Amino acid sequence: MNSFGRLLRVTTFGESHGPAIGCVVDGCPPDIPLKAADFSEDLARRATGKSRHVSQRHEPDEVEILSGVYEGVTTGTPIALLIKNVDARSKDYATIAQSFRPGHADYTYLRKYGIRDPRGGGRSSARETAVRVAAGVIAKKWLRHRHGIEIRACVTQVGTFKADRLDWTHVEDNGLFWPDAAQVPQLEAYLDALRKSGDSCGARLLVEATGVPAGWGEPVYGKLDAEIAAAMMSINAAKGVEIGAGFDSVAQSGTQHRDALTQEGFLSNHAGGILGGISTGQMIRVGVAFKPTSSLRIPVQSLDERGEVVEVVTTGRHDPCVGLRAAPICEAMLALVLMDQAMRHQAQCGEVVHDMPAIPPGREEF
């Protein structure tokens, strides 16, 4: 189960400190322009080492295309992407190799497999997400060029610090994917204090797709929201997913929640663009909760592989707030779900003709 998707099928491989990580993207339509440089931007957005607020591991993250592309376009055959691991300092982990880091997958991997690669978390490392981002680049390209769909993500909460407003204009400028430019200095101070304390915090992200036509999504178990939920929850450190009003809808009344339909469009979007597992034509809106990193300089009680009591202190390079790098990963996962669903929709319902034009998105505000 290192594969994701049904028709656009991404299979990833690689450990944090092995020779390379990579993926095979199978089922991609032919004739999509694709070159190695296409991956740079999103991989840079996800990269470690770019500011003091993230892990100081420096990986160039250069993507090598091994197959599936001929003379600059995809051929319909599997696209293999390879990213070499360059700055893997396994010795950092030598001291904790036999210990279970609390809040990490050390114990569970050992318990499952009876063996584990302890270097940098091995397969359970967030390093794997680099190839998700790479695969997502292909999906984003196709969605944009074929359907005019744009996907974006921002961070709306870091620890107890919440965004005052949602303005996409400067999200990509501040290095923190923050949607309120005015708050950025304050947020940086918050993060500096956090880093100095040796502790970490969680984050909440908002992920959106605009331009998705009505009709994508497969009831009953392949619902668009169900697959988005799985996609987001499969990201390292994710602990919660919600669609549209999400957990707030618990306290809403039906008259408040239901989005009325008018000829000018929907009057609101509490549904987050999905009804009955199928897209409505409105913006797809997803919230994701990320937990605080457990790898800290602050010691914690634990056990080692023989069951002996140990104290664990992490000296490797880690992010005080992993959610800060999650925006391109969330975007990639949403893109992969959407492209896969689009292809499935095309297969089953590609010939459906409608008398009535689609209802416009209308108001997207809650």
The nearer residue to its own copies, 171 or 343, going by C-beta atoms, is: 343
Asked whether position 201 contacts its own copies by CB under 8 A, the answer is yes
- Return the range that interacts with its own copies (CB under 8 A); candidates 33-41, 44-52, 67-75, 88-96: 67-75
**What DSSP letter does each residue of 93-138 carry, written as one string?**
GGGGTTBPPTTSSHHHHHHHHS----GGGGGGSGGGHHHHHHHHHH
Residue 258 assigned to a binding site: no
Q: Does 166 bind its own copies (CB under 8 A)?
A: no
Cα–Cα distance list, 297 to 128, 300, 318 (Å):
23, 9, 10
Window of 9-17, 53-61, 167-175, 182-190 that interacts with its own copies by CB under 8 A: 9-17
- For residues 293 and 56, give the distance between their C-alpha atoms in angstroms, rounded to a whole number: 15
- Does 279 participate in binding its own copies (rule CB under 8 A)? yes
Q: Is 1 near its own copies (CB under 8 A)?
A: yes
Q: Binding residue per annotation — 46?
A: yes
CB of 322 to its own copies, least distance (A): 10
Q: Does 313 bind its own copies (CB under 8 A)?
A: no
DSSP annotation of 294 reads -
Q: Which of 43, 149, 245, 327 binds its own copies (CB under 8 A)?
A: 245
Backbone dihedral region for residue 15 (phi beyond 0: left; psi -120 to 50: alpha; all else: beta): beta
Q: Which of 8, 37, 261, 48 is nearest to 134 (CA)?
A: 37
Among 102, 144, 188, 210, binds its own copies (CB under 8 A): 102
Those residues whose C-beta lies under 8 Å from the C-beta of residue 233, and which sit 6 or more positions away, are 241
Tokens 């896969």, residue located: 340
Give the SS3 label for residue 198.
coil
Any contact of residue 331 with its own copies (CB under 8 A)?
no
Instruction: Identify the residue among 59, 180, 208, 218 touching its own copies (CB under 8 A).
Output: 218
Interaction between residue 112 and its own copies (CB under 8 A): yes
Shortest Cβ 157–its own copies spacing (Å): 5
Residue 360 engages its own copies in binding (rule: CB under 8 A): no
CB 286 within 8 A of CB 243: yes
Q: Which residues contact 196 (CB under 8 A, 6 or more apart)?
A: none
Tell whether residue 148 is among the known ligand binding residues: no
Nearer to its own copies, 40 or 90 (CB): 90
CA-wise closest residue to 257 among 271, 274, 272, 243:
271
Q: Indicate whether 228 belongs to the interface with its own copies (CB under 8 A).
A: yes
| Distance (Å, whole) CA 118 – CA 120 | 6
**Contact residue for its own copies among 9, 50, 144, 363 (CB under 8 A):** 9
Task: Establish if 202 lies at the interface with its own copies (CB under 8 A).
Answer: yes
Contacts of residue 230, Cβ cutoff 8 Å, sequence gap at least 6? none
Give the three-state DSSP class for 168. Answer: helix
Does position 239 interact with its own copies (CB under 8 A)? The reply is yes
Among residues 37, 160, 169, 196, which is the contact residue for its own copies, using CB under 8 A?
160
Burial of 56 (0-12, 13-18, 19+ CB in 10 A): middle
For helices 224-233 and 327-349, angle between their N-to-C axes, nearest 10 degrees: 150
3 in a known ligand binding site: no
Query: Is 186 a residue that touches its own copies (CB under 8 A)?
Result: no
Of the two residues 153 and 245, which places its CB atom closer to its own copies in the complex?
Answer: 245
Q: Which is nearer to its own copies, 179 or 217 (CB)?
A: 217
Per CB under 8 A, does 79 bind its own copies? yes
CA dihedral 38, 44, 47, 49 (to 10 degrees): 140
Site string for its own copies, 119-158 (x = CB under 8 A): ---xxx---x----------------------------x-
Instruction: Give the residue ranges of the annotated binding site for FMN.
Output: 123-125, 236-237, 276, 291-295, 317
Give the residue numbers of the binding site. 46, 52, 123-125, 236-237, 276, 291-295, 317
